[in-house]
Amino acid sequence: MPKVKSQKFGYAHDRAKNASSSTASALTTRAMAPLFKKELGQHILKNPLIAQNIVEKAGLKCTDVVLEVGPGTGNLTTRILERAKKVVAVELDPRLAAELAKRVQGKPEQRRLDIMVGDVIKTDLPFFDVCISNTPYQISSPLIFKLLEHRPLFRCAVLMFQREFALRLIAKPGDNLYCRLSVNIQLYAKVDHIMKIGKNNFKPPPQVDSSVVRIEPRNPPPPIDFKEWDGLMRIVFVRKNKTLAANFKTTSVLDIIENNYKTFCSANEMMVESNFDIKEKVMNVLKSVGFAESRAAKMDVDDFLKLLYRTLTMSSAANILLKQFKELTSNPVPGFTVALPNDGNVFEWDVGIIGAPSTIYEGGYFKATLKFPNDYPYNPPTFKFNNEFYHPNVYPDGRLCISILHPPGDDPTSGETAAERWNPTQSVESILISIVSLMGDPNCSSPANVDAGVMYRKDRDSYNAIVRSQVEASKKDIPEGLKIPTSTDDFVVHKRQIEDEHDENFWYASDGEDVDEDMEDYDVTSEEEDDEEDD
């Protein structure tokens, strides 16, 4: 049987074949070029198994309205339409939007697909239950915050991002990628990593791998002003491995805080003391929450919330105290005087208690200090006499023991009920009136000064003699121009008429002012303190 001769081709044939193959490849490339634009982040997912897995991770219901951002040619869209009630697809490129429309034209799914052509960041989004997106890399961060700001809140979002960006979203304290983005997202949502996707699963392939994450917003969201939160994060994450004390000691940060503080004082008619030191005030706040030596890279969301709440609580307490101080100074109450110390610290008042007429304290003027906690009025202040004050309810060092200044709640040890102890509805005026009343009517059942309590019960004459000597000694402290009441009528506390104040903005939240929108631009390398505060 004759053998079949193999056909041989010469060099010219091989050259023609290669040229034909190159021409076909070039034609294919030219055909793809107009369809996909890399500058718009158009990398179409071509792996059907991955597309199916993404849709399954979304946990779609037959009643769900799904928002799809960047549908492209519809490889994900068709699978979403199989499970959801409706799909709202937002596509920036009109050509791809037309391709998607052709894909469902004449099919039952066409009625359940709503295509919106435009920039999703600038578009008013309709209601949706779930968001699914093969996200263009350049809008990753704006898209997340756009979704989290949307109301009503969605149930979940399954989003594909550049892998490094996705890892930043899920980073935990101590991770190298842990940053301001990590904290901001985890404040408002729970973020889980779903899968890693290689770059060869896209057409045209991107230069990096991708990851899919699932985002579930916290509902309700935390009740904070994001501008205040983000302002704090911008400061502490400028140098995340430095201590908070080092970050807050930089000149640029202190200048901003000092300007804000002076504006606050001016608005509330407070005098800024001559020896004012903003650095000292800032350090006191950090030390009060125990975070002065902490580093942002190691702190979690709860730590930052604690720091923010303490700062805001101090601001709120300061406003409350300023209002009460102005009321007491503009409408003085018989029985006591109030003033701020020379440094203008609104959390520490100089008080003068005036002895009531017809009592052994008549004519006396007893200086004292009233100190308020940062979380006032949720916790009580402390009261201490600065000069000698012999009384059953005053400790030898001058500290006053009175039920209304004890921490709130029942105390089984002392037998005091919550009704007898501190209540946030108490005011400075009611506190001082109670103290004036206690002076002439001590509680000897559980004395702070046992000797004074025993003497008050068993040797009243000796007790009165000690008190009278202290009254005489106190008269040297009477401020110039202060009239000491000499009759009971002058000492009666007349209840003032409370004006019915109408605030038309009562039901509206204050927008607040951001401390700084450009914290990234801080010139932290030029600060003299930086090298000194490495620890």
| 90 SS3 class | strand
The mean pLDDT of 378-401, rounded to a whole number, is: 94
Residue 492 — pLDDT band, cuts 50, 70, 90? Answer: low
Same domain membership, residue 79 and residue 132: yes
Residue 95 — pLDDT band, cuts 50, 70, 90? Answer: very high
The reported pLDDT for the residue numbered 37 is: 67
Q: Is 503 exposed, middle or buried (0-12, 13-18, 19+ CB in 10 A)?
A: exposed
The reported pLDDT for the residue numbered 275 is: 67
326 belongs to a structural domain: no
The reported pLDDT for the residue numbered 278 is: 84
Q: Is the dihedral of CA 89, 90, 91, 97 positive or negative?
A: positive
Instruction: Point out the domain boundary residue: 190, 222, 254.
Output: 222
85 belongs to a structural domain: yes
CATH of the domain at 131: 3.40.50.150
Q: How many CB atoms lie within 10 A of CB 266?
A: 11
Q: Evaluate the omega torsion of the peptide bond into residue 447 and state whether it is cis, within 30 degrees of 0.
A: no
31 belongs to a structural domain: no
The reported pLDDT for the residue numbered 343 is: 63
Q: Is the pLDDT of residue 89 over 50?
A: yes
Give me the helices (H) in 449-526, please: 450-458, 460-474, 488-491
Distances (CA, A) of 168 to 99, 145, 437: 34, 15, 61
pTM for this model (two decimals):
0.62
Same domain membership, residue 95 and residue 198: yes
DSSP letters of 123-189? Answer: S-----SEEEEE--GGGHHHHHHHHHH-SSPPSEEEEEEEHHHHHHHH--TT-TT--HHHHHHHHHE
| 68 SS3 class | strand
Same domain membership, residue 409 and residue 282: no
502 belongs to a structural domain: no
Same domain membership, residue 382 and residue 404: yes
Which amino acid type is present at position 175?
Answer: D
Q: How many CB atoms lie within 10 A of CB 343?
A: 15
Terminal CA-to-CA distance of the chain, rounded, Å? Answer: 92
Q: Which residues lie below 8 Å from residue 230, measured CB to CB, with a gap of 6+?
A: 180, 184, 514
CATH of the domain at 448: 3.10.110.10
Q: Is the pLDDT of residue 500 over 50?
A: no
CA neighbor of 356 nearest in space, from 441, 235, 241: 441
The whole-angstrom separation of Cα 46 and Cα 37 is: 16
Tokens encoding 80: 């979403």
The reported pLDDT for the residue numbered 45 is: 93
**pLDDT tens digits, 322-331:** 889 988 988 8
The reported pLDDT for the residue numbered 34 is: 44
The reported pLDDT for the residue numbered 150 is: 95
- Which segment of 6-10, 172-176, 367-371, 484-488 scores lowest on mean pLDDT? 6-10
The whole-angstrom separation of Cα 80 and Cα 70 is: 14
250 belongs to a structural domain: yes
Greater pLDDT, 468 or 510: 468
Instruction: Point out the domain boundary residue: 222, 242, 265.
Output: 222
Per the CB < 8 A criterion, the answer to whether 189 and 148 are in contact is yes
Q: Is the pLDDT of residue 528 over 60?
A: no
CA neighbor of 286 nearest in space, from 316, 269, 256, 306: 306
The reported pLDDT for the residue numbered 52 is: 96
Report for 24-38, 253-267, 467-481: range of highest mean pLDDT? 467-481
Same domain membership, residue 116 and residue 101: yes
**pLDDT tens digits, 102-156:** 999 999 999 999 999 999 999 999 999 999 999 998 999 999 999 999 999 999 9
Binding residues for S-adenosyl-L-methionine: 43, 45, 70, 91, 119, 134
Q: Is the pLDDT of residue 70 over 80?
A: yes
Q: Is the pLDDT of residue 517 over 80?
A: no
Q: Which residues are annotated as catalytic?
A: 401
DSSP at 386: S
**pLDDT tens digits, 153-193:** 999 999 999 999 999 999 999 999 999 999 999 999 999 99
Same domain membership, residue 388 and residue 409: yes
Residue 418 — pLDDT band, cuts 50, 70, 90? Answer: confident
The whole-angstrom separation of Cα 76 and Cα 46 is: 9
User: Which residues form the domain of 310?
Assistant: 227-320+519-533
Residue 18 — pLDDT band, cuts 50, 70, 90? Answer: low
5 belongs to a structural domain: no
Residue 39 — pLDDT band, cuts 50, 70, 90? Answer: low
Residue 378 — pLDDT band, cuts 50, 70, 90? Answer: confident
Residue 285 — pLDDT band, cuts 50, 70, 90? Answer: confident
| 264 SS3 class | helix
Supply φ then ψ for residue 356, to 5 degrees: -75, 140
Same domain membership, residue 380 and residue 268: no
Same domain membership, residue 399 and residue 282: no
18 belongs to a structural domain: no
Same domain membership, residue 202 and residue 70: yes
| 268 SS3 class | coil
CATH of the domain at 291: 1.10.8.480
Same domain membership, residue 460 and residue 383: yes
CA neighbor of 171 nearest in space, from 308, 301, 306: 301
- Which segment of 120-129, 285-294, 362-371, 458-467 scores lowest on mean pLDDT? 285-294
What is the count of structural domains for the chain? 3
Mean pLDDT for the chain overall: 84
**pLDDT tens digits, 193-211:** 999 999 999 998 999 999 9
Greater pLDDT, 71 or 31: 71
Per the CB < 8 A criterion, the answer to whether 405 and 378 are in contact is no
Binding residues: 43, 45, 70, 91, 119, 134
CA neighbor of 135 nearest in space, from 68, 36, 87: 68
Same domain membership, residue 236 and residue 253: yes
Cα 60–63–65 angle (5° rounding)? 75
Q: Is the pLDDT of residue 30 over 50?
A: no
The whole-angstrom separation of Cα 415 and Cα 506 is: 40
Q: Evaluate the omega torsion of the peptide bond into residue 204 and state whether it is cis, within 30 degrees of 0.
A: yes
Q: Evaluate the omega torsion of the peptide bond into residue 332 and state whether it is cis, within 30 degrees of 0.
A: no
Instruction: Point out the domain boundary residue: 222, 256, 271.
Output: 222
Same domain membership, residue 204 and residue 257: no
The reported pLDDT for the residue numbered 160 is: 97
The reported pLDDT for the residue numbered 36 is: 63
Percentage of the chain with pLDDT > 90?
56
163 belongs to a structural domain: yes
| 191 SS3 class | strand
